[in-house]
């Protein structure tokens, strides 16, 4: 097969996936998609994109397995713990300014470790300020495109392996003692789980004081990354904070609106109105 035929077969396959499941494949990096699709092709013993397309028509359950493979959902509580430490003083300032009414969006939340990390960080801030009762005023919108991830976030039951980066004292304070561990009900109450496609839908309920989108934009092509950075800037309240993944860097038009505050931790802040 020539590389032109191979490209054509690949395009036909990604269009089929978009039609069947709404995943806008064009926005993802080709290299990334091809690698993930190849994993499923090997698992099913087929060798060409055409063959795999036919298989999807015959066995629609394969779509679920493919979508699982395409939406990489590795995550952990307090992933890159130093980043969460750097965020602490900002959360304290936010908490005080908003009297607990802090609005957070965890976009691409996978199985929920990230939004529950935010919930723990908010609860800790409230505790240190002696304002525990205000926690119920906070809200964390946890969104993802992947149904299985959303079900896991709603179920909120985590194996011990999910906690290796989280300080033990916080695990003891905010999670059940028995494994699988569950976050305390007051944390579960502030996390709202929603299905949301970053590539085609507006932010669920702006304005947000904090947008956390880590290890997600890396899978998109530059055009989509630039669009998402502007979307995050729009979604933030003036003075709001954006947290990206450790290897993700903001570029494009949003750079004029989001100031880089902590280069190593990828913490940005939207300029205050009129600043």
Ligand X SMILES: C[S@@+](CC[C@H](N)C(=O)[O-])C[C@H]1O[C@@H](n2cnc3c(N)ncnc32)[C@H](O)[C@@H]1O
Among 14, 125, 153, 215, binds ligand X (CB under 6 A): 215
Concatenated DSSP letters for 125-153?
Answer: HHHHTT-GGGGGG-EEEEEES-HHHHHHH
| Of the residues 82, 197, 222, 246, which one makes contact with ligand X according to CB under 6 A | 197
CB 109, CB 144: distance < 8 Å: yes
Residue 205 CA to residue 141 CA, distance in Å, equals 8
Longest dimension (CA), the chain: 68
Evaluate whether 16 touches 52 at the Cβ level (below 8 Å).
no
Residue of 145, 242, 254, 258 that binds ligand X (CB under 6 A): 145
Q: Which stretch binds ligand X (CB under 6 A): 35-43, 91-99, 194-202, 261-269?
A: 194-202
Residue in 124, 141, 146, 209 binding ligand X, rule: CB under 6 A:
146
Residue 194: φ, ψ to 5° = -135, 140
Q: Whose Cβ is closer to ligand X: residue 25's or residue 134's? A: 25
Closest approach of ligand X to the CB of residue 114, in Å: 4
The span of 42-50, 143-151, 162-170, 257-265 binding ligand X (CB under 6 A) equals 143-151
- The mark string for 57-96 relative to ligand X (x by CB under 6 A, - otherwise) is --------------xxxxx---x-----------------
CB of 149 to ligand X, least distance (A): 5
Interaction of residue 217 with ligand X, rule CB under 6 A: no
CB contact at 8 A, 212 and 118: yes
Q: In this chain, which of 13, 87, 94, 110 binds ligand X, going by CB under 6 A?
A: 110
Count, residues near ligand X per rule CB under 6 A: 22
| Residue 25 contacts ligand X per CB under 6 A | no
Spatial CB neighbours of 236, under 8 Å, sequence gap ≥ 6: 206, 207, 208, 209, 211, 242, 258, 270
**Alpha-carbon torsion (61, 66, 71, 72), positive or negative:** positive
3-state DSSP assignment of residue 157: coil
Count, residues in the chain: 275
Residue 227 binds to ligand X (criterion: CB under 6 A): no
Least distance in angstroms from the C-beta of 55 to ligand X: 23
Q: Name the residues that contact ligand X, by CB under 6 A.
A: 71-75, 79, 108-110, 114, 144-146, 149, 196-199, 214-216, 245
């Amino acid at each position: 097969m020539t590389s032109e035929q191979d490209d054509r077969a690949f395009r036909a396959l990604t269009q089929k996936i978009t039609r069947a499941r709404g995943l806008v494949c064009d926005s993802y990096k080709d290299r990334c998609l091809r690698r993930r699709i190849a994993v499923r092709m090997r698992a099913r013993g087929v060798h060409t994109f055409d063959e795999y397309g036919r298989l999807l028509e015959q066995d629609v359950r394969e779509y679920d397995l493919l979508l699982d493979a395409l939406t990489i959902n590795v995550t952990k509580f307090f992933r890159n713990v130093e980043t969460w430490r750097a965020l602490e003083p900002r959360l304290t300032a936010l908490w005080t300014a908003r009297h607990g009414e802090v609005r957070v969006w965890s976009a691409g939340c996978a199985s929920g470790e990230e939004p529950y990390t935010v919930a723990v960080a908010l609860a800790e801030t409230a505790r240190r300020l002696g304002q525990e009762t205000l926690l119920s005023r906070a809200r964390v919108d946890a969104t993802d495109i992947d149904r299985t991830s959303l079900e896991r976030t709603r179920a909120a039951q985590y194996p011990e392996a999910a906690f290796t980066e989280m300080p033990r004292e916080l695990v003891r304070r905010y999670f059940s003692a028995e494994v699988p561990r569950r976050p305390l009900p007051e944390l579960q109450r502030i996390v709202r789980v929603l299905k949301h496609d970053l590539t085609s839908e507006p932010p669920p309920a702006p304005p947000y004081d904090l947008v956390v989108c880590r290890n997600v934009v890396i899978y998109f092509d530059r055009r989509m990354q630039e669009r998402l950075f502007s979307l995050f800037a729009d979604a933030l309240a003036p003075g709001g904070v954006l947290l990206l993944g450790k290897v993700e860097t903001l570029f494009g038009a949003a750079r004029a609106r989001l100031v880089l505050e902590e280069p190593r931790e990828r913490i940005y802040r939207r300029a205050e109105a009129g600043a």
